[in-house]
């Protein structure tokens, strides 16, 4: 095998994102539900026998926003080679469809797809757990994408519990302005003390207060209802992001004018709303990206390696 073409790297939405504290090393502690959606970057991989690793933008999509040598897909390839002693190389073609600084995990997903693809292309045979150990050094979201399932995520992003979510559709809106993760998390205005919840309460239909038992109305034996999760949570990063990028608030107000309640996803400037039924949206302001998406039950490359 010398080539792998049109390999998907799906985005994620955070149905909520609570910051519950901060570690001594500066990493923030979070709790969130990460959900895969069917909006994907596409990557092409061609094996090189000379050991070189490079990347180019291809197709009609967006530019990646990073210098090729600093792109997470390139860093992932180098990290995988360093961890295994592999001497092969790769040429990576990236068709960027996900907007940058959106909070949708685009770069981390590209890195995860690169690890999965090169594990196959280079014949390394690493397990998902071994790839996740490498991936965590690249970014806190990378292990989630390698895990391949929608999940309850906590700690610094490394504690992942798979969840089964009910099928649903969403509209995602991204203004042209972005906001860096570092700037948002570094703000002194960021709320960092949301009360910690439990996964047991989240999934087991506890009868307690929603601030300490997230599972109110959920059934552990079936798919978790999207609207119930949205009713529970919020995004602690949203007020900071709105101060940095007022267009986040403009997107939320535009969706409200369409009869939709929305919130920001992750640590970027994209917002989303759950579509309980089909909607005909009025035209958005110029420069905004508006896309209707569905959630995914599993990553398209879930079976590309063993656990």
Q: Which residues are catalytic?
A: 12, 141
Using CA atoms, how far apart are residues 248 and 238, in angstroms rounded to an integer? 8
Using CA atoms, how far apart are residues 293 and 283, in angstroms rounded to an integer? 17
Q: Radius of gyration (Cα) for the chain, nearest Å? A: 19
Report helix, strand or coil for 35.
strand
According to DSSP, the residues that pair with 37 across neighbouring strands are 295
Instruction: Count the neighbouring beta carbons within 10 Å of the beta carbon of residue 264.
Output: 31
Q: Is 108 left (phi over 0), alpha (psi -120 to 50) or beta?
A: alpha
For the residues of 259-278, what is the DSSP string, one character each? T--EEE-TTSS-EEEEESS-
Q: Report CA torsion sign: 136, 98, 148, 294.
A: positive
Reading the block at residue 215, the tokens are: 């599972």
How many Cα neighbours within 13 Å face the side chain of 81? 19
Using CA atoms, how far apart are residues 146 and 111, in angstroms rounded to an integer? 9
Q: Are 35 and 13 in contact (CB under 8 A)?
A: yes
Burial 217-226 (b: 16+ CB within 10 A, else e): ebeeeeebeb
Eight-state DSSP code of residue 145: H
């Amino acid at each position: 095998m010398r080539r792998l073409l049109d390999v998907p790297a799906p985005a994620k939405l955070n149905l909520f994102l609570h910051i519950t504290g901060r570690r001594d090393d500066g990493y923030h502690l979070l709790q969130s539900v990460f959900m895969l959606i069917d909006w994907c970057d596409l990557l092409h991989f061609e094996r090189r026998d000379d050991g070189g690793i490079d990347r180019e933008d291809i197709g009609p999509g967006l530019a990646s926003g990073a210098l090729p040598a600093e792109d997470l897909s390139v860093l992932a390839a180098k990290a995988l080679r360093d961890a295994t002693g592999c001497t092969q190389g790769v040429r990576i073609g990236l068709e960027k469809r996900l907007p940058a600084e959106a909070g949708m995990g685009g770069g981390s997903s590209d890195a995860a797809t690169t690890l999965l693809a090169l594990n196959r292309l280079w014949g390394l045979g690493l397990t998902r757990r071994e790839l996740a150990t490498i991936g965590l050094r690249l970014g806190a979201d990378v292990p989630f994408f390698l895990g391949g399932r929608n999940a309850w995520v906590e700690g610094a992003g490394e504690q992942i519990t798979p969840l089964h979510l009910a099928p649903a559709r969403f509209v995602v809106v991204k203004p042209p302005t972005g906001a860096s993760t570092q700037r948002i998390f570094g703000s002194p205005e960021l709320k960092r003390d949301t009360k910690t919840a439990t996964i047991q309460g989240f999934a087991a239909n506890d009868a307690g207060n929603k601030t300490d038992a997230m599972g109110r109305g959920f059934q552990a034996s079936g798919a978790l209802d999207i609207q119930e999760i949205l009713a529970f949570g919020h995004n602690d990063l949203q007020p900071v992001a709105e101060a940095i990028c007022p267009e986040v608030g403009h997107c939320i107000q535009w969706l409200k004018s369409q009869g939709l309640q929305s919130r920001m996803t992750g640590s970027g400037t994209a917002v989303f709303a759950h579509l309980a039924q089909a909607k005909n949206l009025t035209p958005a302001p110029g420069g905004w990206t508006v896309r209707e998406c569905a959630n995914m039950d599993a990553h398209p490359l879930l079976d590309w390696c063993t656990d």
